[in-house]
Copies of this chain bind each other. A is one copy, B any other.
């Protein structure tokens, strides 16, 4: 079983050291192992979990919901349906979000086209 120092974990997950400690404080990370001297050592498992958190976070899941999910994950196997519901709901939100982004992109592109055509006929020599 490999272990990783805080800075290695930070590097591999893209979270800052402060954020890693913050996540632990608020209950997103559970029971991170420590060395004799009290330093954290992250396991491969921890990194996997952190990568999932990163994915959820980057797709816009609020911290509060991640905490809920983390708690479920710590609880019994019986919570699997609930965890599934969280992920499925999130997946649906991502889907909607992409659809909306596409629509909005279309609008912005319309605006771009307007500017482009305005640029191609700039002097407008009326005289």
Residues of A within 8 A of B (CB): 52, 55-56, 58-59, 77, 80-81, 83-84, 87-88, 90-91, 94-95, 97-98, 100-102, 104-105, 107-109, 111-112, 115-116, 118-119, 122
A-B contacts, 15 of them at CB < 8 A, read A52-B111, A55-B104, A56-B108, A59-B104, A80-B115, A81-B119, A84-B112, A84-B119, A87-B108, A87-B115, A94-B101, A94-B105, A98-B98, A98-B102, A101-B101
Q: Please give the count of copies of this chain that the complex contains.
A: 2
**Do the beta carbons of B80 and A105 come within 8 Å of each other?**
no
| A105, closest chain B residue (CB) | B94
**Do the beta carbons of A59 and B108 come within 8 Å of each other?**
yes
**Do the beta carbons of B91 and A112 come within 8 Å of each other?**
yes
